[in-house]
Amino acid sequence: MSAQLPKADVVIIGLGAAGGIAAHVLTQAGIDVVGLEAGPRLDRTDFLAHDDEISGVILNWTGKYKCNKEVPTWRPNANAATAKPPVPPILMGNMVGGTSVHYGTQSWRFRADDFKVRSSTVERYGEAAIPENSTLADWPLSYEELEPWYDKVEYLIGVSGKGGSNPFASLRARDYPMPPLPSFGYGDLAQKGMESLGYHPFPQPAAILSERYDDRPACTLCGYCGFFGCWNDSKSSTLVSAIRRAEGTGKLDVRPNCRVTAILSNDKGQVTGVRYIDDQGQEREQPAGVVILSTYVYESVRLLLLSTSDHFRNGLANNSGQVGRNYMSHAYVSRNGLFPGKDLNLYSGTTGQAVAMDDLNGDHFDHTGLGFIRGAVVFASNGNLPIGQSRTIAPGVPQWGSAYKRWIHDNGDSVGSVFAQVEPLPYTGNFLDLDPKVKDPLGIPVVRVTYNFGENEDKATTYLDTKLAELIKAIGATETWPGFPARTPVPVNSHAYGGTRMGDDPATSVVNKYSLAHEAPNLMILGGSTFPASSGYNPTETIEALAWLSADYLANHLDEIAV
């Protein structure tokens, strides 16, 4: 029997990017919040001992607390058996602050057209441009509605950038709170190469401090940034910004190492709280007037599907059968290039230092006759540590031995790359459900990912690969080869979307524009799982802006929403 605790106004499941922002907004409004986080609470002292070996995304040190023990399974379609995915799973971490502690700090606002992908595509190219089996939909809100919340996020956490430097960006009320991170040698080469092809490069915005801000020091450009926690508190995670402020109100009770196993509901379809296993291994019940589910895509869908009741026999908020549907995963393409005789020194800074371009993103180029829609942000970044760089070798070079060592000695510091983050579409055949056979250490089913490219993604990645090969030669490479090859889906990804789609119609979506579930109106779901479309950009700042908008709505309507 679970021990029942005193009722809270709001309980948040997952104190990461979204949950951290929500906690800040609600506690500033005087609302008592319990924050349950499956991982531990770490701080800068835990990030002092860096190990280059863990710089690879597959060796996710932050995942050891939970997600590495429940890796989703994959199959290419609903008629296939589960199999080894074409790319090893790229997982997110579990800790107070979540992925914002260890991510690469790319901090993008989506553009206005990203919120109306379907309608703008049909208007320009006709209905036939949308693949027949795609469930692509416009967002139920606009960029203009979200812009004030983007602004609030940037000034709360601290984002470095240069407003007006990207000619394709949508209008903003004011500039970033800090200037961009310093330029770097390879970035200067990339900028000249992009300009030589008629592109429009600009400094990538980054959630990392280019100067002292909010009583935190500027980045030291130590190189240990993407996939690491920041020893200097210069990375703008919610751990050191939103959560810190929320706790300062005395209204946030952070409970680390607490694993939620079910969201509870009554016979009216209202959620009443959560059941969780605490840091002592004891089962607890936390009643609440509102439950905010702000874990990652896979865990959000899993918890909903596991939380069955007489009212929700197929999972919480899933009487419409929409939970798990409309799943998307970012596609990637990259090109490496050899720059003989040049010391690029890519280990000398952060992944937040990057030169980006939007010329091939969204609908900024004519897609007529190309066989696909949308595109990718393209960038050249710093922050590739030595072990990672040692894996970036040209075709024909042995993987080990004396010839390998000679090549690394002569060329290891002379390999650069360009990278494209390709926008995928949702399809009827791509979805998430519970694996009928595979379980985690608690005996709970893991998520099963059914996912594959459509023709759109196949053609888009192939097209962008040719553009990247052309670009890196313009930057000065004498030899080029694929880094991340085209036509290769990443089924289990750190950039995953969908599963609890946002929309106005309860028959085709799970939550409304304020992230409240249609079928369980005091359940709020935050994160990339609510995205109707993905964009070519990284999702974090949009997740945070949506969390602020939604939490603000909740704070102003708590008496109407809570039970």
Summarize pLDDT for 185-200 with one digit per residue, the tens.
999 999 999 999 999 9
Strands 33-36 and 328-329: unpaired
Measuring CA to CA, how many Å separate 160 from each of 18, 180, 216, 353?
Answer: 20, 5, 14, 10
Structural domain including 131 reads 3-561
* Interior/surface letters 19-47, b for 16+ CB within 10 angstroms, e for the rest: bbbbbbbbbbbebbbbbbbbbebbeeeeb
Give the chain's mean pLDDT.
Answer: 95
Q: Which residues pair with 338 in a beta bridge?
A: 415, 479
Q: What is the pLDDT of residue 390?
A: 87
Q: Which of 482, 446, 448, 453 is nearest to 465 (CA)?
A: 482
In the chain, what percentage of residues exceed pLDDT 90? 90
Tell me the CATH number at 186. 3.50.50.60
Predicted confidence at residue 391, as pLDDT, reads 85
pLDDT for position 236: 97
Distance CA 296, CA 530 (A): 11
Give residue-wise pLDDT tens across range 502-534: 999 999 999 999 999 999 999 999 999 999 999
Q: Return the pLDDT at 342.
A: 96
Examine the pLDDT at 50 and tell me if it is beyond 70. no
- Tell me, what's the pLDDT at 483? 94
Beta-sheet pairing, 354-357 with 376-381: antiparallel
Say what the pLDDT of residue 1 is: 64
Checking if the pLDDT of 108 tops 80, the result is yes
Give the model confidence (pLDDT) of 80-91 as tens digits.
Answer: 999 999 999 988
Q: Is the pLDDT of residue 558 over 80?
A: yes
CB 390 within 8 A of CB 412: yes
Distances, alpha carbon 464 to alpha carbons 359, 382, 423, 471, 475, in Å: 12, 21, 11, 10, 16
Mean pLDDT of 166-178: 98
Domain count, the chain: 1
If you average pLDDT over residues 372-388, what whole number do you get?
93
Per the CB < 8 A criterion, the answer to whether 289 and 10 are in contact is yes
